[in-house]
Structure 1
Amino acid sequence: MSPVPDFVLEIREMIGTHPLWLPGVTAVIRRDDEILMVERADNGAWTPVTGIVDPGEEPAVSAAREALEEAGVVIRVDRLASTSVMSEVVYDNGDRASYLDLTFACTWISGEAYVADDESTDVRWWPVDGLPPMSDSMSQRVAAALSGEREARFTS
């Protein structure tokens, strides 16, 4: 499975490398005192499960779908933890995109985590107090999901 959804490839055929504005999700999946993290195949970074929302798809449904597709786990999406906008990304092929990220606090329900697609090279549970190094953006998303706050954080 390609990490780029078919609908994005179709749009790219029409607009080339012009900037795209895409909704994305981050699923911070908790199992007791552990967080599920994936090691990304494209850059080697450890992150929670992430993905692009399909056209017409509810973002919480997208988060659950991505967890199953990327890590083979069934989750419950508990709440919206934060929203943020990522700076424009320019890919090696020249494609440009900006993402509206919706981060969800999630709970593991079932399934043994494994690398379920070609977007990751490793999938594992990490202790909440011993997470691998990650970008500031990802650290903020995880912190928002673990905060226990009822309201979503809106970052600027």
Structure 2
Amino acid sequence: MAGHEDYSADYAGQHGRFTVIPAAYVFLRRGESVLLQQRAGTGYYDGYWAAGAAGHVEQGESVFSAAIREASEELGVTILESDLRAVTAMHRTGATGAAIDERLDVFFTCSAWSGEPQLQEDKASDLRWFPLEELPEPVVPHELFVLDLLRSGPVPPVVAYGF
């Protein structure tokens, strides 16, 4: 069996492999409420409500570290890895056929953090708590899919979206 050092970009290209972009999402929870931000100025679902903290996993970073980093960068809160609760992993596509359109999203909830959540970046125009039973409109569609699962439970450990 060949070692991992033989798995090159050329090999991947010859065997139909593509890039999957990983992302971490954190839904801060207070009882039955969830913290959502309203996206603005990004060109991606601007005006839609979304997870309080979310973003791409950077090279060499675990999905847990990405979730913690995003919560700090976007909300100014400190989260411990032990306080993250994995909700589901979502394999997602917009079905365009473009490699950039293949995603693996890992959703977490968190009910313990330090600091008061506040918008830290200009990627959002509002930040509010909403009861899961009374979500605002519109919510980013694949995130709404997960929020609906949280509301109705139980949530499958892995879901597919857009296929």
Q: Shared fold (TM-score greater than 0.5)?
A: yes
The amino acid of 1:123's aligned partner reads L
Distance, in Å, in 2 between the alignment partners of 1:153 and 1:147 is: 14
Q: 1:138 to 1:29 in 2, by over 3 A?
A: same
Question: Are the counterparts in 1 of residues 91 and 104 from structure 2 also a CA contact under 8 Å?
Answer: yes
Normalising to structure 1: TM-score of the pair? 0.71
Gaps of 5+ in 2: 1-17
Match of 1:5 in 2: none
Distance, in Å, in 1 between the alignment partners of 2:150 and 2:58 is: 23
- Judge which range, 63-72 or 131-140, deviates more: 131-140
Match of 1:106 in 2: 110
Q: 1:103 to 1:38 in 2, by over 3 A?
A: same
Correspondence for 2:128 among 107, 113, 124: 124
Q: Higher strand proportion, which one? A: 1
RMSD: 2.8
Match of 2:142 in 1: 137
Distance, in Å, in 1 between the alignment partners of 2:159 and 2:30 is: 26
The amino acid of 1:140's aligned partner reads F
Corresponding position: 1:79 with 2:85: yes
Q: Sequence identity, in percent? A: 29
Correspondence for 2:119 among 115, 121, 129: 115
Gaps of 5+ in 1: 1-18
Question: Are the counterparts in 1 of residues 89 and 105 from structure 2 also a CA contact under 8 Å?
Answer: yes
The amino acid of 1:68's aligned partner reads S
Question: Are the counterparts in 1 of residues 37 and 50 from structure 2 also a CA contact under 8 Å?
Answer: yes
Question: Are the counterparts in 1 of residues 38 and 49 from structure 2 also a CA contact under 8 Å?
Answer: yes
Count residues in correspondence: 134
Correspondence for 1:44 among 25, 44, 47: 47
Distance, in Å, in 2 between the alignment partners of 1:20 and 1:53 is: 13
- Judge which range, 58-67 or 74-83, deviates more: 74-83
Q: 1:89 to 1:62 in 2, by over 3 A?
A: farther
Question: Are the counterparts in 1 of residues 20 and 100 from structure 2 also a CA contact under 8 Å?
Answer: no
1:128 Cα deviation (Å)?
A: 2.7
Which structure 2 residues correspond to residues 50-89 of structure 1 after superposition, within 5 A? 50-76=54-80, 77-88=83-94
Distance, in Å, in 2 between the alignment partners of 1:118 and 1:45 is: 15
Normalising to structure 2: TM-score of the pair? 0.68
- When Rg is computed on C-alpha atoms for both structures, the one with the higher figure is 2
